[in-house]
Each structure stands twice: as structure tokens, then as C-alpha cells.
Amino acid sequence: MTYTSDLLRLLEQRGYIHQMTDAQGLDALAARQIVPGYIGFDATAPSLHIGSLVQIMMLRRLQQAGHKPIVLMGGGTTRIGDPTGRDESRKMLSDQTIEDNIASIRTIFSRLLTFGDGPTDAVMVNNQDWLGQLGYIQLLQEVGTHFTVNRMLSFDSVRLRLEREQPMTFLEFNYMILQGYDFRHLAKDMGVALQMGGSDQWGNIVNGVELTRRMDQKEVFGLTTPLLTTASGAKMGKTAAGAVWLNEDQLPAYDFWQYWRNCDDADVGRFLRLFTDLPLDEIARLEALPGAEINAAKVVLANEVTALCRGADAARTAEATASATFAAGGLGEDLPVLDVPSEGVRLGAACTALGFTASNGEAKRKVVEGAVRLDDAVMDDAGLLINLAPGETRKLAVGKKKIGVLKGI
């Protein structure tokens, strides 16, 4: 369908739209006024990972299209734990941990959104501020009357857990009510008209839309993004080392860059549209590159995304490192470095210390498999003691992509 609003045209062209509660209504609204729209984020870790990047980019698009992005930090709801898509209850986090996480997560938003007091400036809110005030009786009276248990049981987040015969606590069962209440609160207090989220949030979002209509007779909208998987079907954001974190503290820029550089051919175009600001015709040209030339598009992707999330300098250094390491076969400045003391280090232990292998046992296996190379020579003894003069460097590789530097001190 064709939209009249810049917002929906932009989202549609770049592949953000999966479902909407009322496409026409939202399109009409966005065409005539600034739409304040929000997305909620959990505070379960000190950084979001790239699984959340679609949502963050969607707030960026909202702002680019002349609307107002609102970042909702789930300081309150994180204490409950979203049961959506999981079989087990979340571990309880302390208040302090949640606050620390929120403070840490904030940095990524400040890179991708423009905050301030203007009409289309981004703002960040924390649902602890209003959920924390709520009395139990008051909540039951105001909100509980608008939910039937019959309906709550029918939502995927609940139904799937029950079908799989996994326990769900009453605490978690209440999550959807609170998330629904968030929407209503923001609609009432800040005139928020749109909630966005991943496709797994559809049920929660619809709840909020209906709750707002019932309590305030106000029309608000919901929009979800497609579930983002890689072309090989895996959920996005996992590597050998774990999640691909957006914060520098959790993942070095070089590794972040490499993640994008290593994406499937089939993902390049989609990722460029979703995660970069490049114009669509340029993206179309890049994704059409034949054969091995597609690698150039992957470098562009890695550079653009890294620049957005980590800054232009980080992107340049990462690219230079990759080029020096892979194209020239040398060493780049961004490669991980292991300081080797005068007593030396054993080959296997060095692999583990650099994070290339999970344990000395695994390092040993990799040596046996012929995957470990020192200065490009295949090694066959994990117990080899490596001694280096101060300042001397050697190249250590496990497989083709995990490359680091040993440096004598």
C-alpha cells in the first residue's frame, strides 16, 4: 500500500514494518502532526545488544521523519520480567543493578538520537517513576477491571508457557498489564500516540492500545518490526564470544565491526536499509554487486554501523585493522594484544587469555586440529612455551578470523 506520510513511507521502504494496529489511521496522523512514539527497553544488562538495534534505529527514523522519539526505560517492569518468549522466570535484579544498567544503556541512545526540549527532540523516561507509585488496590481497580483473565490466558506470552507445561508465576503474569499501563500513562501525560516494538511485543502493544481506549477513550497506535533473523535463520546478535553488545565496554569496536563484515551475502541489503542512513539507491547498487565484490558492500555496512554506534574514529580504526590483517596479512592496531611476561606463556594458555578459546582444553583441541598458527606457521604443541623479548611481537591466530598479538613486556 502507499502511504501519504513521510514516516510510514520511510519505515516501509527500509523494511521496518511487520504489523500495525491501524495503518490508515496512523498514516493520517503522521501526515498532519508530530507523532510522539515510544519503544520500551529492558534494563537486564549494562548494554543493549544488536537484537535491540532495529528498535533503536526505528526511533531514529521517527526523528528523521520529523516526529518525537521517546525512549522508555523499563526500570519498573524489569523488576517483573517479561515472560514473552521464555520458558523460565527471569532472575531478580537488585534496584541498584537496574539503575546502573539504565545509566550504562543511555550512552547508545545519545549517539543515535538528538535529545533536548524541542518538539521533535528525544526524551528518555523511566516507568519506575509511575509504576513505583502505584498502589496494588488502586492498580486492580483502575486497570484490572479492563482485563479479563480469559483474554490474558489467550496471549502467546502466557499460552505458550502453559502449553509447554512450564511454570509462570503470578508476578510475570502481571507484566502485560503493566506494559499496557505504560502506554496509557504516556498517552495521557505526554500525548504519546504510538508504541513500537519487536513482533514478539505485538500482544503487549495491543493491550496498551485497548487499555488506553477503554480508560481514556483515546485512539493510539501500535507498530511492530519483523523478527530479525540472519539469512541462515539464527536469531541475530550471537557470536562465539556471546552477544554483540552495543556498548564499547562490553565489546571492542573491532569485534563489533567484524560482526557486520562477516554477515551473510543475503543479509547485506536488508541490513544496510535497517542499520545505516545510506540512501536507498546507493544501497540498491551495493547489494547488487556480483560474486566476491559483495565484500565491498559488507565493508560499507560495517563502517556505517560502527560509525553510528561507536563513532567515526572507531569505524576507521577497525577498518584499517581489518585491512592490514586480512588484506596485507600483517597486524592492525586494533587487534587484541596479550602482554607476555618475561617467564613466557604457553601457546594454549595464550589462546585462552586472548578469548579465542574458552578453556585450555579447547585450545589444545584446536592445536590438534591444526587451527592455531604462530606467525602464520601451524603449531602442533599447545604446551609450547613462548618467550618474547620486551617489545617483541608475534601474531597468534586461531582459525582464520581470530587473530591477536603477543607482546613481550
Nearer to RNA, 132 or 361 (CB): 361
CA distances from 389 to 136, 230, 333, 338, 344 (A): 67, 45, 20, 14, 9
Q: Select the span of 25-33, 75-83, 188-196, 291-299 touching RNA (CB under 7 A).
A: 291-299
Give the other-Cβ count within 10 Å of 276's Cβ: 21
Rounded to the nearest whole angstrom, what is the least distance from the CB of residue 332 to RNA in the complex?
9
Assess 165 for contact with RNA (CB under 7 A). Answer: yes
Work out whether 348 is an interface residue with RNA (CB under 7 A).
Answer: yes
Q: Are 152 and 173 in contact (CB under 8 A)?
A: yes
Q: Is 14 in the site for RNA (CB under 7 A)?
A: no
Binders of RNA: how many residues, by CB under 7 A? 47
Name the residue nearer to RNA (CB basis): 88 or 189.
Answer: 88
One-letter identity of residue 352: T
Which residue stretch of 119-127, 180-188, 210-218, 368-376 sits at the interface with RNA (rule: CB under 7 A)?
368-376
Question: Is position 333 an interface residue for RNA (rule: CB under 7 A)?
Answer: no
Residue number with CB closer to RNA (135 or 329)? 329
DSSP strands (E only) in 219-262: 221-225, 238-239, 242-243
- Tell whether residue 371 is a contact of RNA (CB under 7 A): yes
> Judged by CB under 7 A, does residue 22 bind RNA?
no
Of 188 and 285, which CB lies nearer to RNA in the complex structure?
285
User: Under 8 Å CB-to-CB from 32, ≥6 apart: which residues?
Assistant: none
Instruction: Give the Å distances, CA to CA, from 340 to 48, 331, 366, 372.
Output: 33, 17, 21, 18
Contact indicator for 208, 219 with CB cutoff of 8 Å? no
- Opening angle at CA 335, ends 330 and 340, nearest 5: 95
Residues 65-104 touching RNA, rule: CB under 7 A, are none
Does position 316 bind RNA by CB under 7 A? no
Does 329 engage in binding with RNA (CB under 7 A)?
A: no
* CB of 251 closer than 8 Å to CB of 245: yes
- State in angstroms the smallest separation of the CB of 14 from RNA: 22
The span from the CA of 45 to the CA of 48, in Å, is 7
| 270 lies in the site for RNA, by CB under 7 A | no
According to CB under 7 A, which one of 402, 405, 406, 408 is a site residue for RNA?
Answer: 402
Return the exposure string of 40-76: e unless at least 16 CB atoms fall within 10 Å of the residue's CB, then b: bbbbbbbbbbbbbbbbbbbbbbbbebebbbbbbbbbb
State the sign of the Cα–Cα–Cα–Cα dihedral 325, 331, 332, 335.
positive
Choose, by CB under 7 A, the member of 364, 379, 404, 406 that binds RNA. Answer: 364
Nearest to 214 by CA among 181, 189, 237: 181
Amino acid at 312: A
Q: Is 154 in the site for RNA (CB under 7 A)?
A: no
Rg, Å, the chain Cα set: 24
Stretch that binds RNA, among 20-28, 159-167, 206-214, 270-278 (CB under 7 A): 159-167
Contact with RNA (CB under 7 A): which of 117, 137, 217, 400? 400
Write the binding mask 174 to 213 for RNA: x where contact by CB under 7 A, - elsewhere.
Answer: ----------------------------------------
116 lies in the site for RNA, by CB under 7 A: no
For residue 399, state whether it binds RNA (rule: CB under 7 A).
Answer: yes
Binds RNA by CB under 7 A, chosen from 292, 328, 377, 389? 292
For residues 258 and 306, which CB has a smaller minimum distance to RNA in the complex? 258
**Of residues 298 and 395, the one with the C-beta less far from RNA:** 298
Instruction: Report the relative pairing of strands 393-398 and 402-408 from DSSP bridges.
Output: antiparallel
Q: Does 265 bind RNA (CB under 7 A)?
A: yes
**β-strand partners of 198:** 225
Residue 119 CB-density burial (10 A; 0-12 exposed, 13-18 middle, 19+ buried):
exposed
Contact window for RNA (CB under 7 A) among 15-23, 29-37, 176-184, 288-296: 288-296
Q: Which helix (H) or strand (E) covers residue 195, if one does?
A: strand 194-198
Nearer to RNA by Cβ, of 99 and 264: the residue is 264
- In the complex, the residues that contact RNA under the rule CB under 7 A are 162, 165-167, 231-232, 234, 238-240, 258, 261-265, 291-292, 294-295, 298, 322-323, 325-326, 346, 348-349, 352, 358-362, 364-366, 369-371, 382-383, 398-402
